[in-house]
Every structure is written in C-alpha cells, then in structure tokens.
Amino acid sequence: MEYNFRDIERKWQKQWKDSQAYKVKNDFSKPKYYVLDMFPYPSGAGLHVGHPLGYIASDIFSRYKRLKGFNVLHPMGFDSFGLPAEQYALDTGQHPAETTKKNIATFKSQLDNIGFCYDWDREVQTSDPKYYKWTQWIFLQLFNSFYNRKTQKAESITQLIKLFEEYGSGAAGIAPSAFSFTPEEWKTFDEKTQQDILMNYRLAFCGYGEVNWCEALGTVLANDEVVNGVSERGGHPVVKKKLRQWYLRITEYADRLLEGLDRIEFSEAMKEMQTNWIGKSSGAEIDFAVKGFLNTKLRVYTTRPDTIFGADFMVIAPELELVNEIKSEEQTTAVDEYLAYVKSRSERERMAEKKISGVFTGAYAINPFSGREIPIWISEYVLAGYGTGAIMAVPCGDERDHKFARHFNIPITNIIGSYYNGEEANPTKEAILQNSGFLDGMVMKDAMEVAIQALEDNGIGVRKVNYKMRDAAFSRQRYWGEPFPITWKDGIAKEWKGELPLILPTVEKYGPGPDGQGPLANIPEWVAQELETNTMPGYAGSSWYFLRYMDPHNDSAFCDRKVSDYWNQVDLYIGGTEHAVGHLLYSRMWTKVLYDLGHIGYDEPYKKLVNQGMIQGSSRFVYRMILTAIAISDNNKPIPQIFISKNLIEDFHYGGQILKEGIIFNQLEKILSSKGIKINVDVKVDYYHPNALHVDVNIVDGFELDIEAFKKSKPDYANAEFVLEDGKYICGSEIEKMSKSKYNTVNPDDLVLKYGADTFRMYEMFLGPVEMSKPWDTKGIEGVHRFLKKFWRLFFDEIKGKMWTEDEPTAEELKVLHKTIKKIEEDTERFSFNTAVSGFMIATNELTDLKCHKRSVLEPILILLTPYAPHIATELWSLLGHSDSILDAAYPRFEAKYVAETSKEYPVSINGKLRTTMNISLDAAQPEVEQLVLQNDVVQKWLEGKPPKKIIFVKGKMVNVVI
C-alpha cells in the first residue's frame, strides 16, 4: 500500500467536517488556550504561499495544545472592509460587498485545502452588519467616555458633566484645555457650547486634520499613494487640505500603553518599536517673546532646557499660523514660495529629506534670560504635529541643527567648551556649561532642573512631558467601512438614536461626495437624516475581533462577560511585524477602554506575540530584444518577438557594435532568415539592453523557462522566438515582495494538489524560522515529500504491505524514540518548527536504518507528528486499528533514562583550534581528563615535548590545551 495523499486528505477532511472534529465549546470546566492569527484582508488575488506561514505555525501549536489536554480556541475570520475593494468597485462597477463575498469564498476554500483546525462556526467578518453592529457599539462607548486623569481610566461622559456641574473646569482629573469656567458658568452655557467643551474630552472626538487632497481624483490619498507630490495613479497634484475628522484620544493612554508592555511577552524589538512610537519625553515648553510683537509668543518644546543659551535660531513648522503673523515684509515672498513648496510635500518625504531647506521669516525671538535676539526660521523638518511645532535650535548639541546652521551660515554659540569640536554637534549631557548666563559652570544634566525651575519661577515656561504619538485619526472619506452611528444637527454631534447596526447603505456612485466628503454624502436619504458621512478606518474592526470569536453569535452583547472571563487573553498571537505599531497599539487601547468601563476583565489583549517573517517572492525575468532599429524585413513580414537567454545578453554587442561572432548572432540570423528578415549589421546602437519582463514563476523550473507554457501564456507570445544557451532558456531572477503584478506568486492550491497538504504544511515550516523573512522557493518541497513517503514505509511496504509488529523495542530504538519526543516537544514549545521537522526526518532515517517497525515506537511518534501532518497521522492511526481520534490522543512523555549516556566524544582543541576528539567518561573530572589528554598522540605532537600552559576542561563540553 502506497502513500496516497490525495485520497487520504480528502477522506479525513470530509470526516473532520462531518464529525465536527474542530467544534470548540465554551466548556468552562477545561483549561483553555487561545491561539489567534492576524486575520487576512481578503484580496482579490487570493491566498499565496506567504499567507499560510503564520497560520500553519498557529495550527501546529493549537493541535499540540489540544493533545496536551487544553480546550483550544483557534478561530479564523476576515478583515473585510478596506480600500482595495472600494477601488476595485470604482474600477469595475461591482459592489464591494459582492467582490468581498467572492474573495472570502476563495480564501476559505484555499485555507480548508491546507487542513486547518478552524471552527468555522466562529468565523467573523468585519463587514458583516452582525459584526459591525458591535464595532459601532464600542465606538459609542468611546464617544460617551472621557479619560479621568485622577483615576487613570476611562469613565462615562455623564460623570464628566457631573464634575463640571460640581467643580467646573478645574475639577480634579480634568485635562487642562482652553476652556475655563465655574460650575455656575457651566450651567448657563447653551447646548452647543457645552457639547463643544465635552468634545474636547471624549475618547472618540471630532477635530480638524490635514489630509493629502487630490483635486483631480476628488479624493483623499494615503501617504504611499503620493509620490513626489503627485498622485501615484494619474500623476495629479496633491495638496494638504484641512478636513473635519474623527480621532481616538489614544494619547491619554500613552503611559498605560507603555506600562502594559512590561506585562506581556512581545519581542524586545516589538516593545522597542512601540515605545519609540509612543515617544515619551520630558522637558519644558518655553514661551519666547517675538521682537516687535506685544501679544505674540513663540512657544517651543525642548527636551534640553539646559541648552537654552545655545539656541542660535528657532525653527517653526511652516504650516503654523504664526508664520504669516510674524513674517517680515522683505521675507514675505521667500516665505510664501517656501510654503507652497511644503504644501506639495508628504510628511514622509519631509522626514526622509536629506537636503536642507528653509527660509528666514525675518522675525526674531528674544531669549528670556539674556535678551539675545534669535532669528526665526521655517523648515520642513519641523512638523506641526510634534510638540508645539516649534523648536529652539542648538547647533552645538544637535546634529540636524548643526547642519542647518552650517548650511545657512548661522553663527554657532559653543556652550559646551571642549566637548564641541567645531565640526560635529555633540549631544552630551556631561559637559560643563559656558556662555550660559546663570547656568555657567553647571554640569548639563544638573542644569536641566535649574533651568526648568527658573522658567517656571519667571512664568515663561513649564515642565512638560510630551509624546511623539498623536491621537489616532479615525475617519475616512470612503464608502467601504463602518458608518458612524452619529448625527449632526446645528453643528452638534449626537449618538444616532436608531437601533444598531446602522447599516451601510447601497450606493450607485462610489465616488467622493462634495467638498472632500465621503461617498455617503451622495445619498440623499443619508444626508436627510443628518448622518455622519465619513466611515471608520480599517483598524476599527480589527481592534476588538479577538473578543468576538469567543462569543460570535451573541446578539445582546459583543461578548458575554462570563465567556470573555473564561477565554480571557489571547495566549498566543501570530502575525507580521508590519502591524507592530498600528493595529497592535489600537487594539491594546480598545482593550483598556473596555476594561475601564467594566466590559471585560483584563486590559491587555495579547499575552504573547510571535512575529512571522514575510515570505518574499523570487521573481523571474525574460529578456526581450528590441529589433526595430536593426532588422530589415524584405517582404514587410512582422518581426517576431525574440527573447534572449539570460547569460547571453552581454554577448550581443560591444561598444555599440553588433558582435557578428557572438552566439546570439548565429542563432538570431538562422531564426530571422527563415522568416525573410535580415539584420543590418552596420547600424550602430548607442545603447542597447533588452527589456526585462516579469515572467510567471510557475512556468519556470528553477531558472529554466518552460518555453511551450510561455508561448501559451499570452497571445502576444504565441510566435515568440528564443535564443538559447545549451538548448535552454535561462531566466534572470530577483527577490521582491510577493505580488500578483510581479508574477511571482505561488498558489498553495497547486502545491497541495501536487504534494498534499501535509507536505505543504511541513515544507512551509521547514523553510526556516517563522520569525524570519525569506524568499519562497518551491524546489525543496520534494525533500519533505520524500520524507513523508519514507515515514509511511515504516508502516507499509509497497509490496509486502503491513510492516508494523508488536515486538518489544530495543534500548537503541527507545533511545531514538525518547530523543525524538524531547526534540519535538522542546522545538514546538519554542516555535522552532523548522528544526522540529528536521527532527522528524532524523528519527525516520534512524528508525529506517534500524529496520524498526515496532508499534510501541511508531505510535508515539505518530502522535508527535499529528500537529504537523494531521492527515497522514490520522490515516495511519486508524490503520493501526484505533477507533478513537488521534487528535485527542495523549501526548507521549519523555523519559530521560532511555537517553542517558555514560561517555562523550570530547572535542580536544590546541589553543582553541580543534585537533582531535577523545571518548572520555562523563564522570571523569579535571585531573583524570588532563592525564588522558596529555597521553593523546595528536596532543603530544602539538606539544612537541613542552608542558602545556593550561588545560581548560568544561565538563560535558570540551577540552582546550593552551601551549
């Protein structure tokens, strides 16, 4: 009986479905384990081999935990709202709901092919009204809450009103704002005023923000859709435009988001990225008077108030209102020109720009301590959203300021003496201050406090903690997203009074509404109800989906509290680093809000996070010659497309001269002359290089092109001709992102069909560590497939049939078994799936060599294999005569006694270089080992009769003789 994977996999996938083998019950009596994948966005391109990497890892771990006796929740769903579906709708006129439905069906069938243990009854789709009902509900929780700084948590907005009624704007816990009022005044305010004030505290609030506006497309663009100031699609100009936007007040949670990192198992890199994103810093805000302006102050934020005497110029963000106010007459033209330039620049470009640019405003700030006049500049490297949007530049201490000063010939004040070499800024805190007025003679880090104190005492500055993180923009001028359950009347935002969900209406026109509004503004009935026309962004639904899986059909709550208490935090979350800051921070914040409001019992969603690396595509190229300049057709026949094999490209011409002796030329002449075409060898080609075109990697074997398949791939290529090397067409290659447009995607379906799901699963794991990015290469899959066939042969021989016996195992066989149990268990626990796969290979090779076919050895290994290759394991388990399911078998226990060793082949080094090995008892101590080693021939040869300086012996590891 041979390993017929197709039948086996089909049979068991059906059996699992029919028997509901992966149904997960909310059975509170069992210990739980929650494994979560970052759910996919169901793109039209379908699943490629990069997607399942994390899913296979999580599936293996889920099945492993199940074997260990846990009630395992391992759900899957779809992040089905998003921009690409809307763009596709715009392009094709199909409704996003339709295309999304189709895409999800494709994804699901592809996922099922791989044999995942999902309980599809728990599937969630963020675009499903039954789901987004609760996204809207949570949004309203945010809308109706504020952050109480005293209690350090979210509380109801009615509580805030109570505080205002009782204590006014000065109530404890209220963040300072521009409003200041007494309880009596609050009561006299009209509704609009009250609501405007409350809007400054709501966790979901409305404000104004700048977006990339493209007039020609009538739409807002993402930063990566803007290239060099124009839209990627169409190349239309893009400018900054202020629009009313919703925001989440995530900044109030900055400290708790930082603190929470100490309680969760994320990689240090991930924690660092989040910490840097939050960007907590402490320093001071300082108000500088502006020369000639009585009531205008320039407020800067600095982390180094100790360097205030070294501030040689100020830089303010070009978009600050202040610029127009203070610019001098002579500088007006220059400033306005610069503002126009900055308006066309994306934030990304501004930050990445190496070239120094800026303009002097003509105005001067006054150093409050020395009275020195400091010129005020504008430059794109200062962004309005950071701090106050203005910095005091200290060139001797900050490299960017230093370069700026050098570039514009601004004199540099040295306040750090010999710490500054005149060439490079030095950001030290250890220097003793000079030229610094009352701070002279102090060490910088001590001067910090003194400076802040002086600022506060004189009322010109305050101590300030700042965050780089900004409040999260939470609205999109788009159609395919959750509608806000909000109505606008007389400029007041109110909770929509209907029953949730507020259904996304069907539209005829997906195009943007008037004045930069979203497509919903085109619907008269929607506008008539005064409903919000923005929709929520992609991360709304994904910020809380882990909770919905626990209780997916609950119609009266987003998740029953008893259920969320049971499943609790996600024990293991697997996903890509590209979500390091966005999604992970947002969902951490949402969890904290839900916790604060008492809806769930924990404030961190994910206990442990494992990052999967990205699988890159290995693209293949063909090289097409351009013959129009040199080919002469004597009878006006069309010139065929000619493709040159990769290593011949350079062989065609040299210095513009066609090489008549070249390999290409001979072949080319043959091909062309048969078609009545001649090459004009006298034409000089100044520049000649063939076009490199992406070719579908699926019709390339390694680097060799399948020419027939290529000809069939496009009507254009049907009559193509090829210049070959050694009879083959060799393609070029490059590692790129896996994407449909690069023709480098590989569909898992094809591999499953050819090798089976078990082979595919194990091969994806065998490629390398899950966390690491690596290029996909289908070639090696054969090896894993051969391994499974070899494993099968331990049980069945093609000719002899059944091979297993009931014999007692030998010590050697037991050693293999227990070594394998240890290896697989340890590797699985530490997510080292690639080495686990090789562990299975080693075990199979060793048992084959030992001719071991004993049930008592094979059965435990079969259980170990189940999480990795569930189909073959289940089939063999059943063939071994079991009627119960191997999915719930007892995980084998490792027993050290079977693998104990008494001696070791010690490596013996001379001066750290390995020279020989010696078998020495593991009990042997230093003196005994030294004696043995000195007697060794090889060691004696190296010693040349001299005594060794030292002998280093690490028990169980190695011996090193130092001479």
Binding positions for RNA, 607-646, rule CB under 7 A? 614, 616
Output helix, strand, coil percentages for the chain, rounded to the nearest 5.
40, 20, 40
Strands (E) across 215-319 are located at 219-221, 226-227, 230-231, 239-248, 280-290, 293-302, 313-316
497 or 950: whose CB is closer to RNA? 950
First-last CA distance in the chain: 62
Place of tokens 């290239």: 227
Minimum distance from CB of 626 to RNA (Å)? 27
CB atoms within 10 A of CB 95: 16
Token pair, residue 204, equals: 């979901």
Binding to RNA by residue 354, rule CB under 7 A? yes
Query: Do the Cβ atoms of 304 and 496 come closer than 8 Å?
Result: no
Token pair, residue 642, equals: 């000619």
Q: Which of 95, 130, 233, 789 binds RNA (CB under 7 A)?
A: 789
Name the segment binding RNA (CB under 7 A); options: 49-57, 363-371, 746-754, 914-922. 914-922
Binding to RNA by residue 780, rule CB under 7 A? yes
In a 13 Å sphere around the CA of 314, the CA atoms on its Cβ side amount to: 33
Q: Which of 90, 154, 174, 211 binds RNA (CB under 7 A)?
A: 211
426 or 569: whose CB is closer to RNA? 426
Binding positions for RNA, 865-894, rule CB under 7 A? none
426: β partners: none
299: β partners: 287
Binding to RNA by residue 647, rule CB under 7 A? no
Name the segment binding RNA (CB under 7 A); options: 22-30, 282-290, 343-351, 850-858. 343-351
Minimum distance from CB of 667 to RNA (Å)? 24
Residues recorded for the chain:
963
Q: How many residues bind RNA (CB under 7 A)?
A: 100
Cis peptide before 501 (omega within 30 of 0): yes
Query: Do the Cβ atoms of 298 and 376 come closer than 8 Å?
Result: yes
Q: 274 vs 224, 256, 571, CA distance in Å?
A: 21, 12, 20
**Nearest-angstrom CA–CA distance, 925 and 933:** 12
Q: Which of 269, 557, 632, 753 binds RNA (CB under 7 A)?
A: 269
**Rg over CA atoms, the chain:** 35
249 or 653: whose CB is closer to RNA? 249
- For residue 525, give the H/E element and its range: helix 524-528
Nearest to 290 by CA among 324, 317, 318, 326: 326
Q: Which of 914, 926, 928, 935 binds RNA (CB under 7 A)?
A: 914
Binding to RNA by residue 913, rule CB under 7 A? yes
Minimum distance from CB of 732 to RNA (Å)? 15
Query: Do the Cβ atoms of 261 and 609 come closer than 8 Å?
Result: no
Query: Do the Cβ atoms of 725 and 695 come closer than 8 Å?
Result: no
Q: At what angle do helices 582-596 and 268-278 cross, to 10 degrees?
A: 80
Q: Which of 351, 557, 681, 925 binds RNA (CB under 7 A)?
A: 351
Tell me which DSSP letter residue 39 carries. Answer: P
Binding to RNA by residue 41, rule CB under 7 A? yes
370 or 917: whose CB is closer to RNA? 917
Binding to RNA by residue 577, rule CB under 7 A? yes
Binding positions for RNA, 518-537, rule CB under 7 A? 537
498 or 780: whose CB is closer to RNA? 780
Name the segment binding RNA (CB under 7 A); options: 48-56, 475-483, 597-605, 879-887. 475-483
Binding positions for RNA, 219-238, rule CB under 7 A? 220-225
Minimum distance from CB of 308 to RNA (Å)? 24
Place of tokens 């089976």: 756
Binding to RNA by residue 7, rule CB under 7 A? no
480 or 643: whose CB is closer to RNA? 480
CB-based burial, 929-958: b 16+ in 10 Å, e otherwise: bbebbeebeebeebeeeeebeebebeeeeb
Binding to RNA by residue 579, rule CB under 7 A? yes
Phi, psi (rounded to 5 degrees) for 397: -120, -5
Per-residue interface string for the shown chain with RNA, residues 727-746, x marking contact by CB under 7 A: --------x-x---------
Binding positions for RNA, 130-169, rule CB under 7 A? none
C-alpha dihedral sign at 349, 300, 240, 343 = negative
Q: Which of 435, 733, 838, 921 binds RNA (CB under 7 A)?
A: 838
439 or 593: whose CB is closer to RNA? 593
Quick one: CA torsion of 177, 180, 183, 187, rounded to 10 degrees?
Answer: -90
Binding to RNA by residue 911, rule CB under 7 A? yes
Binding to RNA by residue 277, rule CB under 7 A? yes
**Nearest-angstrom CA–CA distance, 166 and 728:** 86
Q: Which of 12, 13, 16, 40 binds RNA (CB under 7 A)?
A: 40
Give me the amino acid identity at 382: V
381 or 408: whose CB is closer to RNA? 381
Binding positions for RNA, 80-99, rule CB under 7 A? 82-84
Binding to RNA by residue 907, rule CB under 7 A? yes
Place of tokens 């039948």: 7
Per-residue interface string for the shown chain with RNA, residues 814-833, x marking contact by CB under 7 A: ---------x--xx--x-x-
Minimum distance from CB of 674 to RNA (Å)? 33
Binding to RNA by residue 465, rule CB under 7 A? no
454 or 939: whose CB is closer to RNA? 939
Binding positions for RNA, 935-954, rule CB under 7 A? 950, 952, 954
Name the segment binding RNA (CB under 7 A); options: 175-183, 218-226, 649-657, 683-691. 218-226
Binding to RNA by residue 841, rule CB under 7 A? yes
Binding to RNA by residue 955, rule CB under 7 A? no
Binding to RNA by residue 418, rule CB under 7 A? no
Binding positions for RNA, 580-599, rule CB under 7 A? 580-582
**Nearest-angstrom CA–CA distance, 476 and 209:** 12
In a 13 Å sphere around the CA of 659, the CA atoms on its Cβ side amount to: 14
Binding to RNA by residue 782, rule CB under 7 A? yes
Nearest to 505 by CA among 474, 535, 539: 535
556 or 902: whose CB is closer to RNA? 902
Q: Which of 328, 835, 856, 878 binds RNA (CB under 7 A)?
A: 835
Nearest to 869 by CA among 789, 931, 815: 789
Query: Using CB atoms within 10 A of its CB, is residue 82 exposed (0-12), middle (13-18) or buried (19+)?
Result: buried
Binding to RNA by residue 207, rule CB under 7 A? no
Name the segment binding RNA (CB under 7 A); options: 215-223, 356-364, 436-444, 587-595. 215-223
Minimum distance from CB of 768 to RNA (Å)? 3
CB atoms within 10 A of CB 531: 21
Binding to RNA by residue 790, rule CB under 7 A? yes
Place of tokens 């351009």: 626
Name the segment binding RNA (CB under 7 A); options: 263-271, 594-602, 720-728, 881-889. 263-271
Binding to RNA by residue 104, rule CB under 7 A? no
Binding positions for RNA, 746-775, rule CB under 7 A? 766-769, 772-775
